[in-house]
Amino acid sequence: MNLDFTPDELQFRDEARAFFAANVSEGLRARVRTGTRLEPAEYIQWQKTLAGHGWAAPTWPAEHGGTGWSPTQYYIFESESARADAPQQYHQGLELIGPIIFTYGTPEQREKYLPSIRSSDHWWAQGYSEPGAGSDLASLKTRAIRDGDHYVVTGQKIWTSYAQVATHMFCLVRTDTTVRKQAGISLLLIDMKSLGIRVRPILTLDERHHVNEVFLDEVRVPVADLLGEEGKGWSYGKVLLDRERGIACASGLRLGQYVRVVKDCARGVRVGRKSLLDTAIFRDKLAQIEIEMVALEYMGLRTLADAVAGLDSGPRASMLKIRWSELLQRITELWVEATGYDAANFALIGSNQGEPLSGNMPHPVMSYLHARVTTIYGGSNEIQRNVIARRSLGL
Amino acid sequence: MDFALTPEQHQLQNSVARFGREYGDFAAWRRMVAAGHAFDTGNWRHMAELGWLGIAIPERDGGLGGTPVDTMVVMEGIGCSLALEPFVSSCVLAPALLAGAPVAVRETLLPGIAAGEVFVTLAQAEPNGRFDLSHVETIAVPHGGGHVLTGIKSHVMDGATADWFVVPARTRGEMDDTDGITLFLVAADAAGLVRENMRGPDHRHNARLTLDGVAATALLGSLHDGLAVLERAVDAAIAARLAEAVGAMDALRDMTLDYLKTRQQFGVAIGSFQALQHRMVDISTACEEARSMTYQAVLSLSLPRLARRRAISAAKARVGQTGMFVGHQAVQLHGGIGTSDELAVSHYLKRLLMIDLSFGNADHHRALFTLAEDSLALEMAA
Ligand SMILES: Cc1cc2nc3c(=O)[nH]c(=O)nc-3n(C[C@H](O)[C@H](O)[C@H](O)COP(=O)(O)OP(=O)(O)OC[C@H]3O[C@@H](n4cnc5c(N)ncnc54)[C@H](O)[C@@H]3O)c2cc1C
């Protein structure tokens, strides 16, 4: 057992470090450092920067235009990225549909879609959840009926992140109502410009517009945009399970950015003659979180090592997601706490709107509020626990 | 021992509940905040007509001379319906701060407060003071028979709509001294006062004040020892705030329980999953705990200072924590819909977040609790 990188890996680390030093603009760095969530345009710009360097798809194999890196290289890339206050890449195209397309898609689909995922000329939204099908996704009702060389799709999706900017949506639909729930589901690649699609915004608790309802009314989707086989849509998600390990591990690394943000904030807050950061009680809370982050990091590293060795890491991806989201919630809570009474100032009223607010508001409160969604989306933490109990503990 | 309400308090509770049903409509609430209003002036007038605004004001000053339990009953209703009316600042905090004010001041302000026509709030917090009531850097210097004030008050609850501010300022000593703090009355339109209005994540309209040689309208109480009055008034306000938290928590509990019984996934109500049942039990327990703590706080208001301080800080810390737990879990158990601005759930969470923050967070009150404990122990030993 050792933690040493090979000489090649060390060289790669230096290369990555130099890249981030040279390519993260001050503006972007400041946004990340203050815990501001990026706008889609900023994600796109960052993706283009990476693409310009040949690093658009760090988890994809080289044959599909990815970097073909080992899990260790990916880890190095992500930790250097986090260290340099670079943003994380937006994941829905790159991690949620790209791998399904290169694994199960036709050569035409790969040709048509993969390059623009890498260049971010296409923005993909995930159209899975429905009002009646959240945790119980397999009960989804959006219907796709074959009509010649098209599917006619009618139904409703909800919580669709960034549908308002998406050019495409990968969408689970029901193509057969006569078979077992999972067996009647297919995966369609839908052009958002298609007739019959209506997007309605939903504001979330952080008062931002990320998610939407997507109404599909007799939307005609070419059969050529069926991914894989009809009725197999449900099973394609499994290629993502293995990949989630890496992503979960990378997200863990990002928590360090928040620790820096919280420390910066606490350093500037006075408690009598001291700074808040120098009070025992605050230090103690921060230390507790940092200690749990070390545990998360090493869980991640072990998982990664398993991936390198081609071993099954059991439930650890789910465990990482649970621990990551819980820690994100705690660290953003601590950020709000550090902010003190400034947290009560979410926005200026009246003529001076747009002026900066003290305590870096509203970012602490927005981040805290947005962190609440991380234990709900992508399979709620309750569902993750069910999965661990059932699949790996045999309960 | 008796935790029961009197028949009159029951009646008040019923009328608060009726008010909540008639005026506490969430759709109307959303429209109101979207229009940028601080609160519903119609509701406020109605509350005045019902006499509630004068509950904490002595009868001789045009109020009802009610008890802290009466205030608690009203505040629970306010918490339950997410009402943004500035009840605590104008109708609990201000009357307590004005307790020692000159008769002329009381005569001008208190009947107006009870009638819902005058708004008064406390401008205490300063940029470097965190939550400490004795941290006062704002200075007051004698001038032309009165005082002029200079300093910054960084978080003034309900400050955007107030007509008057009660401003603690330093008349002698160092910035953290307990002695040398004097309470002044300052008009919102006084020359030299700049007010920046802000709204909270809970849509309350607060303010930040910059005072540059502002002439005080009056000195409230006695010179140099305003801290005791300030502390007592804040304790009464905390007790009221906690009752609001209890109302909000109970509302969230009821909504969540209802959702667990109606939301279907996997062909069954999600309330049939044991993991969620246990969470729901923890939510209900937290509500019970918060209510118990709030009673404890309300009943302590008449106790000697240290006992009162101990009780209030214990309650403020614990209700804050249980409130956050209930807020977080209510969102979690609602799933995606719990995170939507269109549903009341997350707005209650934000309100509970702000209640946890108001008058100092749990860390602050744990420290104050320890201070009170230690002093009580010393008193016992002596
Ligand atoms: C900000 C945000 C962004 C999202 N983005 C997308 C997106 O881009 N695309 C997309 O398709 N979806 C997206 N989602 C949807 C997300 O995946 C769902 O919200 C999630 O799967 C939960 O479903 P639900 O909201 O219907 O809650 P429900 O499934 O109704 O769950 C309600 C509660 O019950 C619990 N629960 C349910 N079943 C069980 C069980 N068997 N045992 C124990 N507890 C259980 C849940 O954990 C939750 O606490 C997003 C959600 C959010 C909040």
User: Is beta strand B164-170 parallel, antiparallel or unpaired with respect to B120-122?
Assistant: parallel
Instruction: For a ligand 1 pocket test, name from A137, A161, A328, A380 the mutation site with the most ligand atoms within 8 angstroms of its C-beta.
Output: A380
Q: How far apart are CA B247 and CA B71, in angstroms?
A: 13
Task: Write a three-state SS string for chain A.
Answer: CCCCCCHHHHHHHHHHHHHHHHHCCHHHHHHHHCCCCCCHHHHHHHHHHHHHCCCCCCCCCHHHCCCCCCHHHHHHHHHHHHHCCCCCCCHHHHHHHHHHHHHHCCHHHHHHHHHHHHCCCCCEEEECCECCECCCHHHCCCEEEEECCEEEEEEEEECCCCCCCCCEEEEEEECCCCCCHHHHEEEEEEECCCCCEEEEEEEECCCCEEEEEEEEEEEEEEHHHEECCCCCHHHHHHHHHHHHHHHHHHHHHHHHHHHHHHHHHHHCCEECCEEHHHCHHHHHHHHHHHHHHHHHHHHHHHHHHHHHCCCCCCCHHHHHHHHHHHHHHHHHHHHHHHHHHHHHCCEECCCCCCCCCHHHCCHHHHHHHHHHHHHCCCCCHHHHHHHHHHHHCCC
Bin B81: left if φ > 0, else alpha if -120 < ψ < 50, else beta.
Answer: alpha
pTM for this model (two decimals): 0.97
More confident residue, A72 or A329: A329
Place of tokens 């007051």: B140
Examine residue A212 and state whether it is found in any structural domain, yes or no.
Answer: yes
Percent of chain A with pLDDT over 90: 80
Consecutive H or E run containing B260:
helix B227-262
Domain boundary among A46, A63, A89: A89
Q: How far is CA A3 from the centre of its chain?
A: 27
Q: Looking at the CA of residue A379, tell me the nearest atom of ligand 1.
A: 21
Instruction: Quickly state the pLDDT bin for A190 (edges 50, 70, 90).
Output: very high
Tell me, yes or no, whether A309 and A185 share the same domain. no
Q: Provide the pLDDT for residue A67.
A: 96
Tell me, yes or no, whether A215 and A347 share the same domain. no
Is pLDDT of A351 > 70? no
Cα dihedral: A389, A137, A251, B334 (round 10): -90
Is pLDDT of A152 > 80? yes
Tell me, yes or no, whether A62 and A133 share the same domain. no
Tell me, yes or no, whether A227 and A251 share the same domain. no
Q: How far apart are CA A73 and CA A62, in angstroms?
A: 14
Residues with Cβ within 8 Å of A388's Cβ and at least 6 positions away in sequence, in order, are A315, A318, A319
Interface of A with B in 121-150 (CB under 8 A): 129, 132, 134-136, 139
Q: How far is CA B15 from the centre of its chain?
A: 21
Examine residue A289 and state whether it is found in any structural domain, yes or no.
Answer: yes
Q: Are B361 and B352 in contact (CB under 8 A)?
A: no
**Which mean pLDDT values do the consecutive 10-residue runs of chain B (382 residues) have?**
91 92 88 94 94 96 95 97 96 96 95 97 96 97 96 98 98 95 98 96 97 98 96 98 98 98 98 98 98 98 97 98 98 98 98 98 97 95 90
Residues with Cβ within 8 Å of A66's Cβ and at least 6 positions away in sequence, in order, are A56, A57, A58, A59, A60
Q: How far apart are CA B89 and CA B236, in angstroms?
A: 11
More confident residue, B183 or A71: B183
Tell me, yes or no, whether A221 and A253 share the same domain. no
Q: What is the ipTM of this complex?
A: 0.96
Q: Are B94 and B71 in contact (CB under 8 A)?
A: no
Bin B49: left if φ > 0, else alpha if -120 < ψ < 50, else beta.
Answer: alpha
Q: Per-residue b/e over A319-337, b at no fewer than 16 CB within 10 Å?
A: bbbbbbbbbbbbbbbbbbb
Examine residue A94 and state whether it is found in any structural domain, yes or no.
Answer: no
**Residue of A286, A283, A287 lying closest to A274 (CA atoms):** A283
Q: Helix or strand or coil: residue B20? A: helix
Interface of A with B in 277-316 (CB under 8 A): 281-282
Domain boundary among A67, A89, A111: A89
Q: What are phi and psi of A125, to 5 degrees?
A: -110, 155
State whether the beta carbon of B23 lies less than 6 angstroms from ligand 1: no
Q: How far apart are CA A64 and CA A54, in angstroms?
A: 12
Which CATH number fits the domain that encloses residue A221?
Answer: 2.40.110.10
State whether the beta carbon of A382 lies less than 6 angstroms from ligand 1: yes
Instruction: Please name the amino acid found at residue A308.
Output: V
Tell me, yes or no, whether A225 and A266 share the same domain. no
Dump pLDDT digits (tens) for A289-322.
Answer: 999 999 999 998 888 888 778 888 778 888 999 9
Cα–Cα distances in Å, from A97 out to A6, A103, A213, A335, B47? 32, 10, 20, 34, 56
Examine residue A353 and state whether it is found in any structural domain, yes or no.
Answer: yes
Q: Provide the pLDDT for residue A118.
A: 97
Dmax (CA) for chain A in angstroms is 76
Asked if B341 and A203 come within 8 Å (Cβ–Cβ), the reply is yes
Is pLDDT of A76 > 70? yes
Is pLDDT of A385 > 90? yes
Q: Provide the pLDDT for residue B278.
A: 98
Residues with Cβ within 8 Å of A234's Cβ and at least 6 positions away in sequence, in order, are A138, A172, A182, A183, A185
Q: Provide the pLDDT for residue B227.
A: 97
Q: Looking at the CA of residue A131, tell me the nearest atom of ligand 1.
A: 26
**Residue of B263, B354, B355, B346 lying closest to B26 (CA atoms):** B346
How many folded domains does chain A comprise? 3
Q: Per-residue b/e over B295-320, b at no fewer than 16 CB within 10 Å?
A: bbbbbbbeeeebebbbbbbbbbbbbb
Domain boundary among A89, A107, A135: A89
Instruction: Quickly state the pLDDT bin for A358 (edges 50, 70, 90).
Output: confident
**pLDDT averaged over every residue in chain A:** 93
C-alpha distance from A380 to closest chain B C-alpha (Å): 8
The span from the first CA to the last CA of chain B, in angstroms, equals 29
Cis peptide before B201 (omega within 30 of 0): no
Structure tokens at B374: 């230690």
Segments forming the whole domain that contains residue A362: 247-393
Tell me, yes or no, whether A73 and A162 share the same domain. no
Examine residue A2 and state whether it is found in any structural domain, yes or no.
Answer: no
CA-based torsion, A379, A377, A255, A45: positive or negative: positive
Instruction: Quickly state the pLDDT bin for A241 (edges 50, 70, 90).
Output: low
Q: Are B269 and B262 in contact (CB under 8 A)?
A: yes
Angle between helices B305-334 and B227-262 (to 10 degrees): 30
Q: How far apart are CA A303 and CA A321, in angstroms?
A: 12
**Residue of A384, A395, A282, A392 lying closest to A336 (CA atoms):** A282
Tell me, yes or no, whether A173 and A285 share the same domain. no
Q: How far apart are CA B191 and CA B149, in angstroms?
A: 11
Structure tokens at B111: 């009947």
Tell me, yes or no, whether A33 and A166 share the same domain. no
Examine residue A196 and state whether it is found in any structural domain, yes or no.
Answer: yes
Tell me, yes or no, whether A303 and A217 share the same domain. no
Q: Helix or strand or coil: residue B120? A: strand
Domains of chain B from N-terminus onward: 7-118 (1.10.540.10), 121-224 (2.40.110.10), 228-381 (1.20.140.10)
Tell me, yes or no, whether A185 and A82 share the same domain. no
Q: Provide the pLDDT for residue B2.
A: 85
B195 touches chain A (CB under 8 A): no
Interface of A with B in 223-252 (CB under 8 A): none
**Residue of B70, B267, B128 lying closest to A340 (CA atoms):** B128
Asked if A207 and B341 come within 8 Å (Cβ–Cβ), the reply is yes
Structure tokens at A299: 């869980």
Examine residue A216 and state whether it is found in any structural domain, yes or no.
Answer: yes
**Residue to substitute from A211, A345, A375, interface B, most B β-carbons within 10 A:** A345
Examine residue A367 and state whether it is found in any structural domain, yes or no.
Answer: yes
Q: How far apart are CA B293 and CA B311, in angstroms?
A: 8
What number of other Cβ atoms are within 10 A of residue A34's Cβ? 15
Q: Provide the pLDDT for residue A127.
A: 96
Tell me, yes or no, whether A276 and A194 share the same domain. no
